[in-house]
């Protein structure tokens, strides 16, 4: 069983997980015992005696597969409709080896009114792998899930892990902080809430902000990769120890542009503390925990968890809301942390959320618990004093402090308002969630106090707080970087001893502490390259050209341009990016198209307008990236959006670089009249030989002299083909052209197209400006493998 521990091979080295590690049904139930676990949790009285067996039995059963239809709300609803109307009926009457197989069902606690998410976007099914491989219906459904997951329309996420963002209640204007964000499944939900006003084809630019932080540099790149699926100008990714998160500054609202702006601390409306934890709530899939669990896993994390929550309490606005969550059942990591945080910040209280998500089965938080330092859990102690009396050395040789125990005022703290989710309640993983806000009167006083003090005073004080020395029981001996877990619930202990508590700057950047990211430089809106790019792409004057940045100190448009919203720009301009270890900001929208010739007429137009080339980029061609198109689309001149039909879509999807002659006459004629370069095509809903497009689809294409290329990557093309035409693309549609094809009359065009498509994939992955980007973590994790295994 030990070998089945995710992310750890026999030799102890790290590798991508293998299929079978996701299948708890391959383990013998007899392996799933741990005396220490049972003794500890019985001593905590987490459940009435009569529920104990069903709790253990649920822990030993395979966790159903759950997934969430992700992305902006309208897109998600449209895909959800396809699941309901096409896939579920197809799967409703499937038998395999004489047994009826149940189709996917919507998670019941998502279907009630009054939820923050539209009904029924979370699904669950429990189908053996054999069925997924061999039943034609489930095989098809599996392919659909895999492809849609690859392009970010579906997120495989454990049901309970979807909860914390729901209790935060994020709105598009909110300033949101995700303190421990990687790999980003909850970040994606927070982004979706910020982008609630997106339409089916176009992204909104929220006025709010999401700072997603993680102390592990490699994991921040996993996070960037995950969040690229919902590109957002409102996103910043930082790589810091959340317990020491520095105060960021922004100009006060009254600052005007003429004088030097007065700075004020950036406070947040919503903060998620999904802290590193022992992860014993994930035992149904992280099977190694059955073998290794011991109480010190949680004891050692308590202090870090507390400091992260306390830091959040300093960074929240007077009327803001914090959600604290773990995938652990251990009160030392849960109620003890919340109690200690409330006692250190008496202005805060737990919010009663018992009427939110009313069908979610949950238990109240505990008022009593009995920690122990005894690995074998032979004894637990009612108080810290009792431990010290029995074992005086415990004060120095264990990580236990008074704060691990219930405080004397435990009855006043309303810990019952915390939520405990147990596996047997609704066939899920185990989880803990607490929602904290300032008491109403405290919130007024805090707001007044903040107003009275000068911004500098507040900044100094918060800075000092952030630098406070660590508590005595904090571990500073980080030893391992856990393997990325696409669901975000990687336990932070490995073999019961290792935990992730190292400050980001110390060890996790793989570069000996130095921060190697390229700077973020905003272009002037008069930048000649930017102007020429906007002209050529036919964007309207309302395009927010003030908020375009490049990733190099000189501000040269070497290759890519990124778009942020105004608050992200303000944070970047008023804070040293190395101090906040800024790893990503905004979303990449334009990229230079190497090898593309500038159309003569356009060159002429640039000359006529007497725009002196101020940089190398002026004469170059830029295109809108596939991932950036939804953000840019609202600014594309409507008359420049070309309408095309299903046959054109089919041709573009099925061929790599179809020649102009292979298109329908009307489309061919339209395109012949247009300049070479990037164009935006809209495909309205339609039908073709049984294929169906249910809503508007807008895509970027590149026109060369003899052919056209759909500028989306291979995975997106595959998902599109499956979704609209019901079939996977033959490998040749995505293959590089063969030599003999390159020798024909259209060789020049074909070569250029091939270079473009290759370039598209490359540019989506890597940024030539030296900025790290989404693909950096491809060495870390094989997403495809995980997805296929997981579903």
In terms of CB distance, is 222 or 671 closer to ligand SAM?
222
Smallest separation (angstroms) from ligand SAM to the CB of 549? 25
Residues between 54 and 83 with contacts to ligand SAM, criterion CB under 6 A = none
> E strands, 286-370, where?
316-326, 348-350, 363-364
Output the smallest distance, CB 743 to ligand SAM, in A.
Answer: 50
Site string for ligand SAM, 174-213 (x = CB under 6 A): -----xxxxxxxx--------------------------x
How does DSSP classify residue 657?
S
Q: Which of 80, 204, 238, 243 binds ligand SAM (CB under 6 A)?
A: 243
- Annotation-wise, does 62 bind a ligand? no
Residue 710 main-chain phi, psi, to 5 deg: -80, 120
Can 327 be counted among the known catalytic residues?
yes
Strands (E), 644-720: 677-683, 686-688, 691-693, 697-703, 708-710
The answer on whether 181 is annotated among ligand-binding residues is yes
Name the nearest CA neighbour of 720 among 702, 694, 739.
694
Task: Say if residue 214 carries a ligand binding annotation.
Answer: yes
Check residue 264 for interaction with ligand SAM (CB under 6 A): no
Q: Is 236 in the site for ligand SAM (CB under 6 A)?
A: no
The smaller minimum CB distance to ligand SAM, of residues 421 and 754, is found at 421
| Site for ligand SAM contains 267 (CB under 6 A) | no
- Residue from 58, 79, 202, 242 in contact with ligand SAM (CB under 6 A): 242
Shortest distance, position 466 Cβ to ligand SAM, whole Å: 12
Binding residue for ligand SAM, selected from 276, 288, 496, 626, defined by CB under 6 A: 276
By C-beta, is 476 or 743 nearer to ligand SAM?
476
Among 148, 150, 216, 437, binds ligand SAM (CB under 6 A): 216
Report if residue 774 touches ligand SAM, rule: CB under 6 A.
Answer: no
Assess contact for 487 and 185: CB atoms under 8 A: yes
* Three-state secondary-structure class, residue 784: helix
Query: Using CB under 6 A, which of 374, 500, 713, 753 touches ligand SAM?
Result: 500
Residue 150 or 769 having the CB closest to ligand SAM = 150
Backbone angles phi, psi at 193, to 5 degrees: -70, -40
**CA separation for the pair 709, 644 (Å, rounded):** 14
Please check if 180 is assigned to a binding site. Answer: yes
Binder of ligand SAM out of 21, 198, 241, 764 (CB under 6 A): 241
Q: Is 21 in the site for ligand SAM (CB under 6 A)?
A: no
The values of phi and psi at residue 178, to 5°, are -110, 100
CA atoms of 210 and 174, how far apart (whole Å): 8
The mark string for 111-150 relative to ligand SAM (x by CB under 6 A, - otherwise) is ----------------------------------------
Q: Which stretch binds ligand SAM (CB under 6 A): 241-249, 440-448, 555-563, 715-723?
A: 241-249
What CA–CA distance (Å, rounded) separates 575 from 692?
49
Q: How far apart are CA 474 and CA 403, in angstroms?
A: 13
Q: Is 269 a residue that touches ligand SAM (CB under 6 A)?
A: no
Shortest distance (Å) from residue 628 CB to ligand SAM: 24
Q: Write out the two tokens for 624.
A: 């809108």
Tell me how many degrees the CA angle 239-244-245 measures, rounded to the nearest 5: 55
CB of 593 to ligand SAM, least distance (A): 35
Query: Nearest-CB residue to ligand SAM?
Result: 488
320-336 exposure pattern, b = at least 16 Cβ within 10 A, e = fewer? bbbbbbbbbbbbbbbbb
Tell whether 274 is in a known binding site.
yes
If one asks whether residue 433 binds ligand SAM (CB under 6 A), the answer comes out as: no
Query: How far is the C-alpha of 395 from the C-alpha of 373, rounded, in Å?
Result: 11
Q: Going along 353-466, which residue ranges are E strands?
A: 363-364, 419-421, 431-438
Catalytic residue among 273, 277, 327, 533: 327
99 CB contacts (<8 Å, ≥6 apart)? Answer: none
Task: With beta carbons less than 8 A apart as the criterion, state whether 663 and 718 touch.
Answer: no
Site string for ligand SAM, 30-59 (x = CB under 6 A): ------------------------------
* Cβ count within 10 A of residue 410: 18
Answer yes or no: are the C-beta atoms of 330 and 491 closer than 8 Å. no
Residues in CB range of 711: below 8 A, 6 or more apart: 623, 625, 626, 678, 699, 700, 701, 702, 756, 757, 760
d(C-alpha 481, C-alpha 499), whole Å: 9
Can you state the angle between helices 302-315 and 335-344, rounded to 10 degrees? 40
Smallest separation, CB 410 to ligand SAM (Å): 26
CB of 505 to ligand SAM, least distance (A): 11
768 among annotated binding-site residues: no
Cα(777)–Cα(786) distance, integer angstroms? 14
Q: Does 488 bind ligand SAM (CB under 6 A)?
A: yes
Q: Which of 24, 201, 215, 593 binds ligand SAM (CB under 6 A)?
A: 215
Q: What's the token pair of residue 768?
A: 């030539």
How many CA atoms, within 13 angstroms, populate the side-chain half-sphere of residue 499? 23
- Binders of ligand SAM: how many residues, by CB under 6 A? 23
What are phi and psi for residue 349, nearest 5 degrees? -145, 160
Least gap, CB of 74 to ligand SAM (angstroms): 24
CA distance 24 to 20: 8
Any known ligand binding at 184? yes
Q: Output the smallest distance, CB 261 to ligand SAM, in A.
A: 29
Confirm or deny that 169 is annotated as ligand binding.
Answer: no
274 lies in the site for ligand SAM, by CB under 6 A: yes
State how beta strands 560-563 and 548-550 pair. Answer: antiparallel
Residue span binding ligand SAM (CB under 6 A) among the ranges 215-223, 338-346, 598-606, 744-752? 215-223
User: According to the binding rule CB under 6 A, does residue 474 interact with ligand SAM?
Assistant: no
Positions at the binding site for S-adenosyl-L-methionine? 180-186, 214, 241, 274
Binding site for ligand SAM (CB under 6 A): 161, 179-186, 213-216, 219, 241-243, 274, 276, 304, 488-489, 500
Positions at the binding site? 180-186, 214, 241, 274
Q: So which residues are the catalytic ones?
A: 327
């Amino acid at each position: 069983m030990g070998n089945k521990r995710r992310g750890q091979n026999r030799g102890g080295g790290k590798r991508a997980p293998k299929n079978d590690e996701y299948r708890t049904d391959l383990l013998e139930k007899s392996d799933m015992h741990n005396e220490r676990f049972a003794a500890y949790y019985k001593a905590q009285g987490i459940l009435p005696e009569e529920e104990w067996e069903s709790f253990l039995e649920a822990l030993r059963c395979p966790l159903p597969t759950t997934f969430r239809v992700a992305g902006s709300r309208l897109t998600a609803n449209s895909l959800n409709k396809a699941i309901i109307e096409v896939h579920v009926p197809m799967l409703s009457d499937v038998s395999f080896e004489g047994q009826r197989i149940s189709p996917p069902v919507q998670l019941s606690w998502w279907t009630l009114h009054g939820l923050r998410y539209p009904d029924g976007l979370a699904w669950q099914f429990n189908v053996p792998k054999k069925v997924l491989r061999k039943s034609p219906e489930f095989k098809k459904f599996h392919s659909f899930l895999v492809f849609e997951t690859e392009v970010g329309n579906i997120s495989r996420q454990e049901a309970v892990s979807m909860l914390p963002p729901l209790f935060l209640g994020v709105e598009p204007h909110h300033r949101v902080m995700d303190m421990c964000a990687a790999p980003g499944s909850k970040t994606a939900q927070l982004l979706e809430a910020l982008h609630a006003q997106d339409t089916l084809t176009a992204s909104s630019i929220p006025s709010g902000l999401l700072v997603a932080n993680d102390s592990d540099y490699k994991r921040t790149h996993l996070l960037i990769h995950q969040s690229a699926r919902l590109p957002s100008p409102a996103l910043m990714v930082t790589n810091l120890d959340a317990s020491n998160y520095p105060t960021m500054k922004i100009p006060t609202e009254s600052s005007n542009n003429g004088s030097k702006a007065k700075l004020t601390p950036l406070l947040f409306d919503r903060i998620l503390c999904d802290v590193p934890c022992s992860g014993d709530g994930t035992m149904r899939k992280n099977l190694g925990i059955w073998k290794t669990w011991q109480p010190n896993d949680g004891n050692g994390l308590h202090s870090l968890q507390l400091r992260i929550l306390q830091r959040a309490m300093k960074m929240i606005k007077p009327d803001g809301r914090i959600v604290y969550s773990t995938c652990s059942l251990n009160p030392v990591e849960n109620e003890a942390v919340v109690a200690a945080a409330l006692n250190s910040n008496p202005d805060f209280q737990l919010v009663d959320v018992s009427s939110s998500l009313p069908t979610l089965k949950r238990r109240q938080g505990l008022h009593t618990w009995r920690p122990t330092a005894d690995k074998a859990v032979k004894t637990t102690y009612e108080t810290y004093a009792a431990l010290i009396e029995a074992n005086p050395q415990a004060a120095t040789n264990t990580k236990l402090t008074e704060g691990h125990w219930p405080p004397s005022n435990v009855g006043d703290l309303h810990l019952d308002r915390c939520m405990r989710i147990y596996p047997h309640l609704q066939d899920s993983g185990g989880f803990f969630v607490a929602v904290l806000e300032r008491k109403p009167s405290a919130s007024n006083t805090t707001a007044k106090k903040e107003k009275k003090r000068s911004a500098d005073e507040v900044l100094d004080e918060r800075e000092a707080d952030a630098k406070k020395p660590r508590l005595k029981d904090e571990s500073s001996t980080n030893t391992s970087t856990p393997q990325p877990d696409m669901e975000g619930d990687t336990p932070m202990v490995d073999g019961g001893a290792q935990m992730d508590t190292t400050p980001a700057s110390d060890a996790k950047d793989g570069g000996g502490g130095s921060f190697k990211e390229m700077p973020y430089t905003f272009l002037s809106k008069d930048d000649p390259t930017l102007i020429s790019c906007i002209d050529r792409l036919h964007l309207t004057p309302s395009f927010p050209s003030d908020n375009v940045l490049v990733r190099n100190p000189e501000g040269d448009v070497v290759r890519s341009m990124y778009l942020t919203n105004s608050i992200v720009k303000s944070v970047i301009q008023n804070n040293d990016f190395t101090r906040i270890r800024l790893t990503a900001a905004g979303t990449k929208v334009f990229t230079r198209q190497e090898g593309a010739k500038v159309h003569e007429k356009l060159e002429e137009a640039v000359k006529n307008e007497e725009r002196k080339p101020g940089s190398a980029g002026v004469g170059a061609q830029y295109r809108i990236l596939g991932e950036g198109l939804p953000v840019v689309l609202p600014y594309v001149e409507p008359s420049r959006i070309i309408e095309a039909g299903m046959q054109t879509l089919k041709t573009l999807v099925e061929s790599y670089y179809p020649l102009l002659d292979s298109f329908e006459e009307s489309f061919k004629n339209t395109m012949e009249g247009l300049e070479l370069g990037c164009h935006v095509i809209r495909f309205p809903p339609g039908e073709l030989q049984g294929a169906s497009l249910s809503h508007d689809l807008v895509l970027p294409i590149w026109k060369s002299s003899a052919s056209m290329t759909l500028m989306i990557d291979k995975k997106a093309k595959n998902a599109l083909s499956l979704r609209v035409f019901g079939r996977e693309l033959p490998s040749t549609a995505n293959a590089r052209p063969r030599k003999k094809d390159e020798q024909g009359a259209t060789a020049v065009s074909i070569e250029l197209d091939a270079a473009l498509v290759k370039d598209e994939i490359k540019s989506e992955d890597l940024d030539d400006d030296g900025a790290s980007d989404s693909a950096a973590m491809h060495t870390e994790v094989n997403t495809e493998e995980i997805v296929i295994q997981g579903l």
